[in-house]
Amino acid sequence: MAGDDDGPVRTPGRRLGVDVGTVRVGVALSDATGTLASPLETLRRAKDQSDLDHLAGLVVTHEVVEVVVGLPRHLSGASGASAQDASAYAASLASRIGDVPVHLVDERLSTVTAASHLRAGGISARRQRPVIDQAAAVVILQSHLDGRPRTGPETRGRHS
């Protein structure tokens, strides 16, 4: 499993964003250029880990080149039980998808940000429940996409 940052340059291709919760897992997918994240689906966590198998299937189906899993940290930056759970989930997913890198990224306030965006879009708190995890996955993935420059003529081969 890859670390928090594997370098400044990213190649084109779809990325999968994952927001791991105790009950549900939000999933987002980028476009083929790795520029824009969109909600994909919400999975129920399963004791038999069929949710992980489903995610592995999405990686194959969508030809995903990178998976980004949100790492929930306290505002102080400290890690708690949720971060340990997300790390274990990411490791289990990585073992199912072979050479596709899995990155853990700081997701502090992603759910709060997602809820704020949904409210701004006129979606009430009651109607947010089925989509909040997907929206949080979008926030996690889009933050990751925005933070790493694309490979292109002006940046190819350069590492900062």
For 5-30, what is each residue's pLDDT tens digit? 445 566 889 999 999 999 999 999 99
46 found inside a domain: yes
**Which of the two residues, 62 and 135, has the higher pLDDT score?**
62
Quick: pLDDT tens for 84-126.
999 999 999 999 999 999 999 887 655 556 556 655 666 666 6
Query: What's residue 153's pLDDT?
Result: 31
pLDDT for position 118: 56
| 153: in domain | no
3-state secondary structure 104-143: EEECCCHHHHHHHHHHHCCCCHHHHCCCHHHHHHHHHHHH
Q: What is the CATH number of the domain that holds 58?
A: 3.30.420.140
Taking 90 as the threshold, does the pLDDT of residue 61 lie above it?
Answer: yes
Q: How many domains does the chain have?
A: 1
Interior angle at CA 58, CA 88 and CA 36, nearest 5: 95
Q: Is 18 helix (H, G, I), strand (E, B) or coil?
A: strand
Q: Among 59-68, 80-89, 126-135, whose mean pLDDT is lowest?
A: 126-135
Domain span holding position 81: 14-147
Any domain includes 72: yes
Contact 40, 116 (CB under 8 A): no
pTM, entire model? 0.77
In whole angstroms, what is the distance from residue 20 CA to residue 24 CA?
A: 7
Q: Which residue has the higher pLDDT, 31 or 126?
A: 31
1 found inside a domain: no
